[in-house]
Structures are given as structure tokens and as C-alpha cells.
Amino acid sequence: MMKMKKNWNLIIGLSITGVILTAAVAAQFWTPYSVTEMDASSVNLAPSLVHLMGTDNFGRDVFSRTLNGIGITFLTASLAVAIGAFAGILLGAVTGYYGGLFDELVMGVVNMILAFPSILLALIFISFLGVGTGNLIAALGILYIPPFVRIVRSEMIRCRDLDFVRSARVMGVGTGRIIYSHILPNALISILSTLTVTFNNAVLSEAGMSYLGLGVQPPVPSLGRMLSEAQPYLGINPWYGIFPGLLILLLILGIALVNEGLQREKA
């Protein structure tokens, strides 16, 4: 008798992510202090009951900014992944199903993009497009199309010659429907898994780009940027640098655990 092990990874992962997400959404509507308001008398304070995470070099409350910032990170990453997933799944389905020269071309480009380190590509994109959150989302979105293309395409290839698909075709079911109702559901877990991995990459890329000054721009708070702002003050107020990073860490951990959980389910 197999013991039904609880999928701890999934549970913990979803919990962590859930908490962060809730806090992030709430922070969009209300924060203990204004996210942009500066206060010259409270510069670089250590965490206290008044300011849970201390203040930054402009006297802004780090707690408010961090929570708000993670909302921005969430939003940016989600949008980017959404773009990638949408376009990628479509493209992957089409190219996987039909194959041929088109497929070869697409896969050539896809493999090329996948081979490059993503921060580099994002950097080059942004340098040419100009900075800004919108541009960042667009750049990342394009970068994240390949992983989805790959996963859906391989599922297509695997399934398209299977019996049940053949019989569906014989029965006259339209291609679209075949893809949608019969083949994709098999790929669901893989797609979800790819979603989580890509999401984490997006979070890291956004944070990295913002750290370099090329991502989300002030005064909109961004965790990556806060880390770069905090660096010169590490000697005076290390907390300013620790909290944003910690939150990124937690978010990524949460999502990674969810991914782990999904893998278990698949196996």
C-alpha cells in the first residue's frame, strides 16, 4: 500500500505565495505611510515600532515601499509571463502540429534566444528601447515566449500521432478543437510548471534590471532599485538593503516550492 504523502511543497509554496500576494495587493490600496512622501527628519532610521522596517535616505518608510514594491514586481512579472505564455502556447501549438520548414525556422530562433542569458538580452532590448516599466514588460514578454513554445510543441509532437487524436481527426473534429480539448490538457502540468519557473526568472530579471537602473523608475518603488539605493548606506543602515532582498527571496522561494509540488503531482 502506497502511503499518500501530503504534497508539502505545494502547500507551503502556495501559502507563502498567497500571503505575499495578499499583502502586495493590499499595499496597492493602503500602506501605513505614503510611498513617496519624504521626511527629512527621519532619514536612515533602523527598524522600530514606528517604522517596522526603518526608513530610507529620504525618510520614506521602507515597510510601505517594500510591500508596494513587491506588488509592482508581481505585476511586472505576471504581465511578462502572460505575454510569453499566450504567444508561446499559440506558436508552440501551431508549429508543433504542422511542423515543416516553418517549424524549423521557429525552433532555430527559439533555441537561439534560449541559449542567451536572459538578463543580457533584456539589457540590450531596454538599452535600445529606452527605460520604463512598459518597455521592460515588453522585452521580458518576448524573451519568455521560447520556453512555452518548446514545451507545447513537444507535447504536440508527442500527441499528434496518437490514436485518440487520429480518431478525432477522422471524425472530423476541427484542428483547433483537437489542440484545445485533447492535446493541451495533457500538457497542463508542464505548462504550469513552466509558468512558475518563468515567473521566477521574470522576478529576478526585473529586480536585476531595476538594480542596474534600467527597470522600474522612481518614484515608483521597485525592490531591485531599493537594493541599489541602499548599497552606499550599508554601513549606516543595513536594514534598508536587507528587507527588500529578503522579500524577493521569499517570493521566489514560494513559487519554487509550488513548482516542486507540481513536479511531484506529475510524477
Partner 1 sequence: MKKRVLFFGVMALLVSAALCGCSGGKSTEASKPVKNSSEEAPAGSAAVSGMTGTAEAAEPAHGGSAVVGVTHELVSLDPHQSTDARTRSVVFNLYEGLVKPDPDGNLIPAVASDYEISDDATVYTFTLRDGVKFHDGTTVTAEDVKYSIERYAEIQGESSAFSVFDHVEIPDEKTVEIYLKEGYSEFLPEITFGIIPRSNPDPEKNPVGTGPFCFVSYTPGQKLEVERFGDYWQEGLPYLDHVEFKITADADTAFMELQAGTIDILDFLTGAQAKAAGEGCQILEGTQNMVQGMFLNHSYGPLSSLKVRQAVCYAVNKEEINQFLYDGRSYLIGSHMVPRLVRYYEPAPEALYPYDMEKARELLAEAGYPDGFDLEIVATTASTQYMDAAQIIADQLSRVGIRATIRPVEWSTWLDEVYRGRQFQATVVGFDGTLAPNYWMMRYTTGHSKNFMNYSNAEYDETCQKALMTVDDREKAELYKRCQMILAEDAESVFIQDPANYVAVNRRLGGYVFYPLSAQDMSVVYEK
Partner 2 sequence: MNYIIRKIITLILTLLLISAMTFGAFSVIPGDASVSRLGTEATQEQIDALRAEMGLDRPVTERYISWVRGAVHGDFGESLRYSGTTVRELLSDRLTATVLLAVIALAMMFVFSVPLALLSVHFKNHWQDTLISQLVQLAMAVPSFFLGILLTYFFGIALKLFQPGKFVAPSEDFLGAVRYLVFPAMAIALPKGAMVTRFIRNAVLGEMKKDYVRTARSKGSSRDRILYRHVLRNALIPVITFAAMIAVQILAGSIVVEQVFSVPGVGRLLVSSISSRDYPVVQAIVIYITAIVVIMNFAIDLIYQLADPRVKGDQG
Does 38 help bind partner 1 (rule: CB under 8 A)? Answer: yes
Comparing CB distances to partner 2, the nearer of 177 and 264 is 264
Does 213 help bind partner 1 (rule: CB under 8 A)? Answer: yes
**Residues contacting 243, CB < 8 A, separation 6+:** 53, 54, 62, 63, 66
**Residue choice 15, 22, 34, 127 for contact with partner 2 (CB under 8 A):** 127
Task: Report the amino acid identity of residue 145.
Answer: I
Comparing CB distances to partner 2, the nearer of 94 and 216 is 216
User: What residue 138 binds from partner 2, partner 1, none (CB within 5 to 8 A, per partner kind)?
Assistant: none
Site residues (CB under 8 A) for partner 2, limited to 234-253: 234-235, 238, 241-242, 245, 248-249, 252-253
| Contacts within 8 Å (CB) and 24+ apart, 209-216 | 209/119, 209/122, 209/123, 209/126, 209/136, 212/123, 213/131, 214/123, 214/126, 214/127, 214/131, 214/136, 215/126, 215/131, 215/133, 215/136, 216/72, 216/76, 216/133, 216/136
Q: What does DSSP assign to residue 47?
A: P
Does 128 help bind partner 1 (rule: CB under 8 A)? Answer: no
Cβ atoms of 17 and 255 within 8 Å: the answer is yes
Does 211 help bind partner 2 (rule: CB under 8 A)? Answer: yes
Does 236 help bind partner 1 (rule: CB under 8 A)? Answer: yes
Residue 227 burial by CB count (10 A; 0-12/13-18/19+): exposed, middle or buried? buried
Residue ranges in contact with partner 1 by CB under 8 A? 36-38, 40, 43-44, 57-59, 130-131, 213, 217-219, 231-233, 235-236
Residue ranges in contact with partner 2 by CB under 8 A? 111-112, 115-117, 119-120, 123-124, 127-128, 200, 204, 207-208, 211-212, 214, 224, 227, 230-231, 234-235, 238, 241-242, 245, 248-249, 252-253, 256-257, 260
